[in-house]
């Protein structure tokens, strides 16, 4: 049974999901030449709200710039498209996926005159690794696949083709009976999960790795760093070794889809007796309260769909004629 919403934003129009299609000769289908974002919408007492919407759209444009994908819509139009999609699909809790990619003109590696297609889809995607994972933690294996180096791909860009690296890692993990993979970088230090950043806890302090560790600079990662500092938790940003992981008091993944997911087992090694630790639970609780609009001082991280009523820069909405 599909979990996608009935309506999709496609090249500036709201249309039925099945009408938003692309050519099988699209450059992106053959070469992965696209960039995307993942944004969560949460139910709050003030209505649906998208978490750190501006940050996600800014990163979409930054990723596009790296690959010279000239998105033919303004920041405000993409932002408004996300909000319109939430409203027209009557979403309370959902996942929003904007994507910009080269469609068909040429199948040469150089995209030449390939037009840029932009789409925003919405669907229900609960906790990425399951509600039980948020409560009890997950098992992780060190992947035999290394995370690509920044000299091979721009690690800070969220680009479609780059995720083949993650696909290989997570399929290997699943085949071995683990919930998720953890990739090392070319230097042999810890990079990240297949789709998440990682944090370690030792003696009440938080540790996460640096940009030069071949990681995506996650928006949830940045959120957790800010929350830790705001709560007088010391944050160390440095390269992370496997030894640090194996000796950690706690460990957890962060990501838009994964939220704050505790790690309980790494290649058979049990962390914190196999249970989420106190600092992990504290930060997870804070994060979930914030995204659901329960902590007012962080409401500036939420964009409520009421924004739609006073966005003067957006163009008149087009609705596809069914």
Q: Which residues are catalytic?
A: 158
Pairing of strands 180-184, 138-142: parallel
Task: Identify whether the C-beta of residue 178 lies closer than 8 Å to the C-beta of residue 142.
Answer: no
Give the phi and the psi of residue 281 in degrees, each rounded to 5: -65, -35
- Distance from C-alpha of 245 to C-alpha of 75, rounded to nearest angstrom: 39
- Residue 312 buriedness (CB in 10 A; 0-12 / 13-18 / 19+): exposed
Phi-psi region of 174 (alpha: psi -120 to 50; beta: other; left: phi over 0): alpha
Can you tell me which residue has the tokens 């106190």? 278
Q: Which of 257, 281, 291, 84 is nearest to 180 (CA)?
A: 257
DSSP character at residue 147: P
Q: Which of 244, 306, 270, 318 is nearest to 73 (CA)?
A: 318
Give the phi and the psi of residue 7 in degrees, each rounded to 5: -115, 145
Neighbours of 72 (CB within 10 A): 13
Q: Which of 314, 318, 321, 322 is nearest to 12 (CA)?
A: 318
């Amino acid at each position: 049974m599909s979990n996608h919403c009935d309506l999709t934003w496609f090249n500036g129009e709201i249309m039925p999901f099945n009408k938003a299609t692309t050519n099988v000769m699209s450059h992106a289908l053959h070469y992965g030449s696209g960039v995307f974002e993942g944004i969560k919408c949460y139910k709050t007492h003030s209505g649906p709200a998208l978490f750190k919407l501006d940050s996600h759209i800014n990163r979409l444009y930054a990723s596009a710039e790296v690959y010279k994908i000239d998105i033919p819509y303004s920041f405000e139009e993409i932002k408004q498209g996300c909000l319109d999609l939430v409203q027209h699909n009557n979403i309370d809790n959902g996942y929003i996926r904007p994507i910009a990619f080269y469609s068909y003109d040429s199948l040469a590696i150089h995209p030449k005159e390939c037009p840029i297609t932009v789409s925003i889809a919405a669907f229900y995607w609960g906790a990425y690794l399951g509600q039980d994972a948020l409560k009890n933690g997950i098992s992780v294996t060190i992947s035999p696949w290394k995370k690509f180096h920044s000299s091979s791909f721009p690690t800070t860009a969220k680009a479609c083709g780059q995720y083949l690296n993650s696909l290989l890692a997570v399929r290997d993990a699943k085949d071995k009976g683990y919930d998720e993979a953890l990739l090392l970088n070319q230097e042999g230090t810890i990079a990240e999960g297949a789709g998440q950043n990682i944090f370690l806890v030792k003696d009440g302090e938080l540790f996460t790795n640096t940009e030069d560790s071949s990681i995506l600079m996650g928006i949830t990662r940045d959120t957790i760093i800010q929350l830790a500092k705001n709560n007088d938790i010391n944050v160390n940003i440095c390269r992370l070794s496997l030894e640090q992981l194996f000796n950690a008091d706690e460990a957890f993944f962060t990501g838009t889809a994964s939220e704050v997911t505790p790690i309980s087992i790494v290649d058979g090694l049990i962390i914190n007796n196999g249970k989420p630790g106190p600092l992990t639970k504290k930060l997870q609780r804070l994060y979930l309260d914030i995204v659901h609009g329960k902590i007012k001082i962080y409401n500036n991280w939420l964009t409520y769909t009421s924004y739609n009523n006073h966005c003067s820069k957006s163009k008149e909405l087009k609705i596809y004629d069914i």
